[in-house]
Amino acid sequence: MRLSPKRSLLPLAVLAALSSPAFAQEAGAQVKIDGVIDPAEWQGARHVTDFRMVQPFTQAATRHPTEAWILATPEGLAVAFRNAKLAGVETPRQRSARDQDVAIDRVNVMLDFDGDGRSGYDFTLTASDGIQDSTITSGGNFSSDWDGSWQHAVVDGEGEWTAELLIPWHTAPMKKAAGDKRTVAVYLDRVVGSINERMAWPAVSFERPQFLNQFEKIEIPAYSQSLLAITPYVVGLQDLVAKDNKFDAGADIFWKPNSQFQLSATINPDFGQVESDSLVVNFSAEETFFGDKRPFFTENQGFFDFGLLFDNSQLLYTRRVGAMADDGSGPGDIMGAVKFNGSVGATQYGAFVADERGDAGRRFSALRLQRAFGTQNLGVMLTNVDRPFLDRSANVIGFDHRWQPDASLTVASTLVGSDVEVAGQHTRDFAFTSMAQKTLDKGWSLTGLLIHYGEDFEVNDAGYLGRNDLNYGQFEVGKRITQLPEGSAFSSHNIRTRIEGLQNNGGLWLQKQFRFNVNSQRKDGGNLNWNFQLRGPAYDDQITRGHNPMYVRNGGSAYINRGFPRRGKWQFGVDASLGLASGLRQDTPYAWSASLSSTYYISDALNIELWLGHVTDQEMLIWQGGDLGPGYENVVGGFHMNRYDLNASLNWNIGTRHELRVKLEALGFDADDPIAWRVGADGRGMRSNDPVQPFSFRNMGFQVRYRYELAPLSNLYVVYGRGGFGYDPHAVGAFDQFNDAFSLRDDEQLVVKLAYRFEL
């Protein structure tokens, strides 16, 4: 059904007359989520018309007429949008897969169920009825790993498009209401995708640190909803290389008896047979961080968020559960896990327990408590991992504090202690972090960070810590410019200048750096981002894995990225970087990279994406001690490196329930012209005759995935996957390795998975 502008005038007038600034005690009629805004259904709704520009962040009245209605019903919070289209502004009707980020018209409903600024949820609905959903933490971080169950519908007309959403009360636990009312906080926005303009109510930006605290607080009837959902799954796997068949089954359980408590459990959970990680090349001493898409481990996981500011450091990293077993035999076999959270008065609580089978199995547990005290929020988190195969037990306790005296200032701090016991011997240490963010007038902002990780601080049994033994300081000045000349091609500039320093606890400088970064939004919907950084002389204390630190000279790098708006059936993006190496050679070698991304839209339902990249580094330094053995602990190899990458995908959104994805990743890597260096006690590198050899390798991953949505959060998957890794102990050439990658066949599998959610 399509609505013309003339037909929408009468409902608009009736809705305006019926709307009131506050919620009615009860919904007028049951809201049918069909995308058609029926005045009788939306009686008593909060009518929102004051949408203002937040991208660019001018807070001026929008030129795109937009209005919304918000209504609390027994089934959930209902929201409707009416979005007028402007002549000359393209409205792409591209279909998108769940959680796919595309430049298309869309609306967002962000909801903080408790209205206290500690956590929220983002529900995104596109003009083609595609959806995204995410969790939002108090630090303003969005995670799309979580998938919720909510209703949505869209009607796309010639002069406008309308949308309706219904977010159930069982989505998240809520504090007990005072009487028959509760306070929630809401944020609504609309994005015009072709020109990347965003208008919102209230007029606040998610790019600012106080975002969650600036939602509009509204009082609604204290509805409560119970839910028991059981999602059994079965998986059949045929290994086409080993000529073997496997069968597995399990179930996820979700129970919410009332608004204050919810429990989720999993028995023999799916380890993500239908999801694939990207190809990664990592020669550093730090572990690669991966996200988690397993349903149980993403359900309301935001409550357990306890970050440590540096990189992805956090106290609970759910990819540890089911990771490589302690005996190295393969992935850990997860027997089951339980997670619950809720509230008692003003205190929120949560607990997490997961068990693995076998002698090398581990037990993970975590407890989380939070309580608000006016403008302050105090929390505590405890984690424990029992690893009997290693005779190891790890305990961590952390306190986090957040103070927001007003809408312009946020101060967040943590204090964490770790205690690792191995064979009866304890190792203890602590960490401290603090971040202050201040928003000033005329677009200025200030950010300061202080971080200390003790030399023996350790959270990697349950959490993620890229490295310990550091002291880090950062000060950043930001300036957002939105008042640009009428003839300017840009709508805004976001400028950030940062100085930062990093030492280990022995006082050795690991980083002294100056950064200048500009993110610019163009009026045509494109963007231009660039930055450069200057590095002072310092040391790398990780490259030799704890032996002699390596002295690195001063250097610098520059990066530029240009994103072009969609024009017709094509969309492009390019980026490039250039850096001066700061390693051991004295002739100032350089490194550069370039990449091209493109998308070709065959139709609104079918598109092809392609990303091509190349990297050259004249001095790539790789530790050799692990390969050469004792006596070579301080040997580092310097190589001339070349790398070619391909990432291609075909995305076919056949219908609202069918989708087909074809994904291909391949890379070729070559490290030639080796130079052996011995790092002395003073950190200086001396040329040596140690047997450092050139090498090259190739890697490939290919997947064809079909998904049919049987019902919300109920899916049938059919997945074919193939991949492999090939290594040569000599230089072959990166492009030749890239070509050979497509013949790899170390693994080849066919997987069929069925998961169906029963709601009782």
What local confidence, expressed as pLDDT, does residue 294 receive? 83
Average pLDDT over residues 151-163: 93
- The DSSP secondary structure of 607-633, one letter per residue, reads EEEEEEEEEEEEEEEEE-HHHH-TT-T
Give the three-state DSSP class for 708: strand
DSSP 741: H
Give the three-state DSSP class for 736: helix
Name the token pair of 444.
């200025």
Tokens 């807070």 appear where? 59
DSSP 464: B
Nearest CA to 216 out of 128, 72, 351, 110 is that of 110
| Those residues with Cβ within 8 angstroms of residue 567's Cβ, 6 or more apart along the chain or in another chain | none
Confidence of residue 24 (pLDDT cuts 50, 70, 90): very low
Q: Alpha-carbon dihedral of residues 299, 216, 78, 150, nearest 10 degrees?
A: -20
Q: Tell me the domain boundaries of the chain.
A: 5-225, 542-760
| H helical segments located in 454-590 | none
Strands (E), 423-554: 425-439, 444-453, 470-481, 490-503, 509-522, 527-535, 538-540, 550-552
Confidence of residue 12 (pLDDT cuts 50, 70, 90): very low
Phi-psi region of 196 (alpha: psi -120 to 50; beta: other; left: phi over 0): left
Q: How far apart are CA 337 and CA 268, in angstroms?
A: 8
Strands (E), 277-362: 334-344, 347-356
* Residue range 542-760 in CATH 3.40.30.10: no
Q: DSSP 3-state helix, strand, coil percentages of the chain (rounded to 5)?
A: 5, 55, 40
What local confidence, expressed as pLDDT, does residue 103 receive? 81
CA atoms within 13 A on the CB side of 332: 24
Task: Give the whole-number percent of the chain exceeding pLDDT 90.
Answer: 72
What local confidence, expressed as pLDDT, does residue 20 receive? 40
Average pLDDT over residues 207-235: 90
Lowest mean pLDDT among 281-295, 421-435, 528-542: 281-295
| Those residues with Cβ within 8 angstroms of residue 693's Cβ, 6 or more apart along the chain or in another chain | 674, 729, 730
Q: How far apart are CA 434 and CA 436, in angstroms?
A: 7
Name the token pair of 89.
């502004």
What local confidence, expressed as pLDDT, does residue 4 receive? 35
Confidence of residue 468 (pLDDT cuts 50, 70, 90): very high
Confidence of residue 1 (pLDDT cuts 50, 70, 90): very low
Confidence of residue 273 (pLDDT cuts 50, 70, 90): low
Predicted TM-score (pTM) of the model is: 0.88
What local confidence, expressed as pLDDT, does residue 354 receive? 96
CATH code matching the domain that covers 5-225, chosen among 3.90.1150.10, 2.60.40.1190, 3.40.50.10860, 3.30.1330.10: 2.60.40.1190
Q: How far apart are CA 541 and CA 548, in angstroms?
A: 7
Average pLDDT, whole number, for the chain? 90
Nearest CA to 84 out of 63, 60, 56 is that of 63
Q: How far apart are CA 287 and CA 285, in angstroms?
A: 7
Q: How far apart are CA 754 and CA 234, in angstroms?
A: 5
Give the three-state DSSP class for 301: helix
Common-topology check for domains 5-225 and 542-760: no
Residue 28 clears pLDDT 60, i.e. is over it = no
Residue 425 clears pLDDT 80, i.e. is over it = yes
